[in-house]
Amino acid sequence: MSKTGYWFRIALVNFFVAGLAGLTLRFAFVVELPWPNFMNGMHAHSHVAMLGWLYLAIYALFIELFLPEAAKHSKKYTRLFWASEITIIGIFVTMITMGYHVSSIVFLSGHVILSYVFLGFFLKDIRNTKGAEVSKRFARTALWFMAASTLALWAMGPLMALSMAGSALYYASVQFFLHFQFNGWFIFAALAIFFRVLGQQGMSLEKKSLDQFYYLLVISCILTYVLAVTWSTPIPLLFWINSLGVILQTAALFVFARMIIGAYPSAQKLLSPAGRRLFGIAMISFALKIFMQAVVVVPYFATISYTIRNFVIGFIHLILLGMLTHMVLGAAVNTGIINSDSKRAKAGFLFLLIGFLLTEILLFLQGTMFWAAVGFIPYYYELLFGASILLPLAVFLILISGKKHDLAS
Ligand code: HEM
């Protein structure tokens, strides 16, 4: 197995652990659990899912897809990978037992510093990769968004020292980190990977549309950050800036959809069925995410969107599980890291899709019922827990599916 394929599997192990933690949180609504404390469990879950799964899966795919052979085999990336994995284990153990605590902050800071080292190594080595200008631009932008998002983390210490925890500025910093992690780093990285895979499979997209898409998305990513600030500072100008960002983002979606529809006939020939399906689910989730953000241009919907927890959680998982997880899995299938012919992988992808759809439907339906003040779906928490079982099970099946050309499946 290639080094990057092996790293991808370690990232899947982290995903499995994060999935089990998420499942435990859902079980905590069915039966009262003595341990873990819900907030500690949630921090452990979200950090390991984002940093242990998505970050490391992107790390493995960036190196596999973008770097020349010599750099790919360099020991520095192996050391960096394992150092990052150690911080993830540290984050999980300290978060689940103590929540935000000096020890978890030490591991978190370690992870952030290692991500800067990755940025430095990668940006230097990618200069030696020929061609792939568009996907390289997305990859570089993703890394800069990642670095920018972490600036907010360094502001937290001083804000706390100044007794400003809970202030509007503190809240704006937390949202700055989350917004640019999700909409900047992760989404641009997933798109970089997507365009690179298409390019490697021999598909070419129109350069002018790709450029338009890129600029529209960068500008809208920056502008839509202000929505988060409207929560504490609801002034009309900020709502207008967000609306402009959302309009540009919707325009980006149209450009993207036009390109993808145009490329569909060649995708049918060049991509594997499983790879196509995974990319398809990711793109539908991406479109839904943009559509939902367009709806919250109306201030009334904006207020509902962040006051009903089910909508927040449904939206977060639409991006992270629907778009990003399916995008990186699609790339892993198309590059042969995961063997999509294996029965286990096929069952895993199916369970992942069903689990994702059922949990999203339940979360959004119940959220709408809260908003309409019409009570609960019967057995809501039991159903949500039952549907969530499919998710870690899916990850486990994908994990044990073997890589392409393995005989055992
Ligand atoms: C594998 C299946 C998953 C399950 C069963 C699951 C479950 C959950 C649950 C129960 C919560 C807390 C909801 C609440 O407070 O009511 C949550 C929150 C969250 N999850 Fe997941 N999740 C999964 C996958 C993921 C993935 C793949 C990611 C990211 C890559 C992710 C990131 C998050 C984040 C960021 C939060 C919000 C934390 C906060 O509000 O501070 N989850 N998840």
The domain limits of the chain are 1-130
In this predicted structure, which of 166-170, 212-216, 372-376 has the lowest mean pLDDT?
166-170
CATH code for the structural domain at 1-130: 1.20.120
Closest C-alpha to 314, from 277, 270, 369, 267: 369
CB of 393 sitting under 6 A from ligand 1:
no
pLDDT in tens, 202-238: 988 899 999 999 999 999 999 999 988 887 888 889 9
CB of 108 sitting under 6 A from ligand 1:
no
DSSP 205-259: --HHHHHHHHHHHHHHHHHTTHHHHHTT---HHHHHHHHHHHHHHHHHHHHHHHH
Q: Which atom of ligand 1 is nearest to the CA of 309?
A: 16
Measure 46 CA to ligand 1 centroid, in angstroms.
Answer: 5
Q: What's the rounded mean pLDDT across residues 21-46?
A: 97
Is residue 366 predicted with pLDDT exceeding 90?
yes
Q: What's the rounded mean pLDDT across residues 118-138?
A: 96
Closest C-alpha to 309, from 361, 377, 364, 234: 364
Q: What's the rounded mean pLDDT across residues 261-282?
A: 93
Long-range contacts of 133-137 (CB under 8 A, 24+ apart): 134/195, 134/199, 134/205, 134/207, 134/210, 134/211, 134/214, 135/65, 135/66, 135/192, 135/193, 135/195, 135/196, 135/199, 136/66, 136/192, 137/214
In this predicted structure, which of 111-115, 172-176, 189-193, 391-395 has the lowest mean pLDDT?
172-176
The reported pLDDT for the residue numbered 296 is 82
Is residue 391 predicted with pLDDT exceeding 80?
yes
Measure 152 CA to ligand 1 centroid, in angstroms.
Answer: 22
The reported pLDDT for the residue numbered 42 is 98
Mutate which of 12, 20, 45, 96 for ligand 1? The one with the most ligand atoms within 8 Å of its CB, which is: 45
Measure 16 CA to ligand 1 centroid, in angstroms.
Answer: 12
The reported pLDDT for the residue numbered 345 is 97
Kindly indicate the confidence band of residue 406, based on its pLDDT and cuts at 50, 70 and 90.
very low
Q: Which atom of ligand 1 is nearest to the CA of 26?
A: 10
Return the percentage of the chain with pLDDT > 90, whole number.
83
User: Are 321 and 351 spatial neighbours (Cβ–Cβ below 8 Å)?
Assistant: no
In the chain, the N- to C-terminal Cα span, in Å, equals: 15
* Dihedral pair phi/psi, residue 68, rounded to 5°: -65, 155
How many CB atoms are closer than 10 A to CB 124?
10
CB of 19 sitting under 6 A from ligand 1:
yes
The reported pLDDT for the residue numbered 322 is 98
The reported pLDDT for the residue numbered 403 is 64
CA-to-CA separations, 211 to 84, 183, 238, 266, 363, in angstroms, rounded: 33, 18, 27, 21, 36
Treating both helix axes as pointing N-terminal to C-terminal, what angle do 273-295 and 236-270 enclose, rounded to 10 degrees?
Answer: 160
The reported pLDDT for the residue numbered 181 is 97
pLDDT in tens, 379-390: 999 999 999 999
Kindly indicate the confidence band of residue 408, based on its pLDDT and cuts at 50, 70 and 90.
very low
pLDDT in tens, 76-102: 999 999 999 999 999 999 999 999 899
CB of 325 sitting under 6 A from ligand 1:
yes
Q: Which atom of ligand 1 is nearest to the CA of 359?
A: 5
The reported pLDDT for the residue numbered 83 is 98
The reported pLDDT for the residue numbered 298 is 85
Return the percentage of the chain with pLDDT > 70, whole number.
98
Is residue 404 predicted with pLDDT exceeding 80?
no
User: Running DSSP on this structure, what letter comes out for residue 129?
Assistant: -
Is residue 305 predicted with pLDDT exceeding 90?
no
Is residue 299 predicted with pLDDT exceeding 80?
no
Measure 25 CA to ligand 1 centroid, in angstroms.
Answer: 9
Kindly indicate the confidence band of residue 331, based on its pLDDT and cuts at 50, 70 and 90.
very high
Q: Which atom of ligand 1 is nearest to the CA of 19?
A: 1
